[in-house]
Amino acid sequence: MKRPLHVAIAGATGAVGVEMVKTLESRNFPVASLKLLASARSAGKKVKFRGEDVTVEELGEKSFEGVDVALFSAGAGVSKQYREAVVRSGAVMIDNSSAFRMEDGVPLVVPEVNPEDAKNHHGVIANPNCTTIIMLVAVAPLHRAFGLKRLVASTYQSASGAGAKGMNELLSQTKALLAAANGMDELAERYRDVLSRVDPPSAFADPIAFNVFPHIDVFGPNGYSKEEMKMVNETRKILHEPAMRVTCTSVRVPALRAHSESLNLEFSRKVTPEEVRKVLADAPDVILRDDPAAGVYPMPVDASGHGEVLVGRIRSDLSNPDGTGIEMFVSGDQLLKGAAFNAVQIAELL
C-alpha cells in the first residue's frame, strides 16, 4: 500500500498548478494533506480538492514544514529561492522549471523512460521541458529497441506553453481580428492595423492569432533558441547519451493547448514502420493514431486533456537509402504530460 504523503504545490493557481491539483485527484494519489501555495495576490482563494475547499496560502520560507513532496510550477526564480527551504524541511522538490534540469546531481526524469534516476536525488528532482517529455515518451522505447543515432525535431507549440496568459492572448487577439474584418482578404490586409489597437503581445514575441513564428525563448550565439537547446541537452541527459546527435527547430502555432512535433529518427540498423508500430503499441502512455488514409493521425485537439502521447504518420524516411530512417508525428498535452501529469508520476515513484 502506498504511504499517504503530505503534499504542497507552489504556483497552485497557475495553469500547471491547477492541473497538478486535478491530476492528484484523478490518479487517486495518496494525499495525507494538501497545501496550496502562491503569491500574496492569490492568497485566500479557494480551490476544490476531493470535494473540499482548500485555501491558498502565501508562499514563504516556512511553508514546507511537515511536507513530504513539494510540486513547484512557479518559475525558475522562485524555485531557486525556495530550494534550500524545501530541502531543509526534509521534503523532496519536484520542479517544473528550467532551474535545475542540467545541474549535476539533479535527476531529470520521465517516468516511462528513466524512473530509476529518481532514486538518486538529493532533495530535488527536475521535470524536463514539455516538448522533451512528449518526444521521449515515444522515442525512448524505439531507442532501446533499435539504437537511435540521430534525431531531428521540429516542434509546433501551442499557446498553453506560455500558461494561462498565452492562451488568453491567443483568444483575445483572435476575437479582435474576427470582429474587425469580413473575410480572409480583409483580415490579411488589416492584420497589423487591427492588432495595433489591442494590447501588444506580452506572452509571445509576435502576434499569435492566425500566425506561426519560429521564436520560443531567447536566441543564443549559435543561432538556436534556449527552447531548442533544451531539447538537445535534456534528451542527452535523460537517455544517458551525451554524444547523441540532436537538433531542433521550435515553432509557436495558434493552437490553444497541446504541442505537436515532427520527428526524423535515424537508427543504427534498418527499421521498418511495422517494427516501429509494434514497439510503440506496447509502450507505456503511447496511443497509436496511425491510419492517415482514414484521417487518423495525432492532433493537438485530440491530445488535449489526456496524459498519453499520440503517435502517428509513421513512415520510412525516403531520403535515407539504407532504410535506417523513420519519420513520425506526435502530439501531447503540454500542461499534462508535458508538466503536471509527469510531475505527479515522479511523485508516485517516491
Catalytic residues, which ones? Answer: 130, 259
Identify any residues that bridge with 325 across adjacent strands, giving them in sequence order.
266
Q: Residue 309 has which C-alpha cell?
A: 502521447
Q: For residue 176, give the DSSP letter.
A: H
User: How far is the C-alpha of 83 from the C-alpha of 155, rounded, in Å?
Assistant: 31
CA count, 13 A, side-chain hemisphere, 139 = 34
R_g of the chain computed on alpha carbons: 21
Contact of 265 with 325, CB cutoff 8 Å: yes
Indicate the DSSP class of residue 215.
Answer: -
Q: Which three cell numbers stand for residue 184?
A: 480572409
CB 239 within 8 A of CB 113: yes
Strand 325-332 to 309-316 pairing: antiparallel
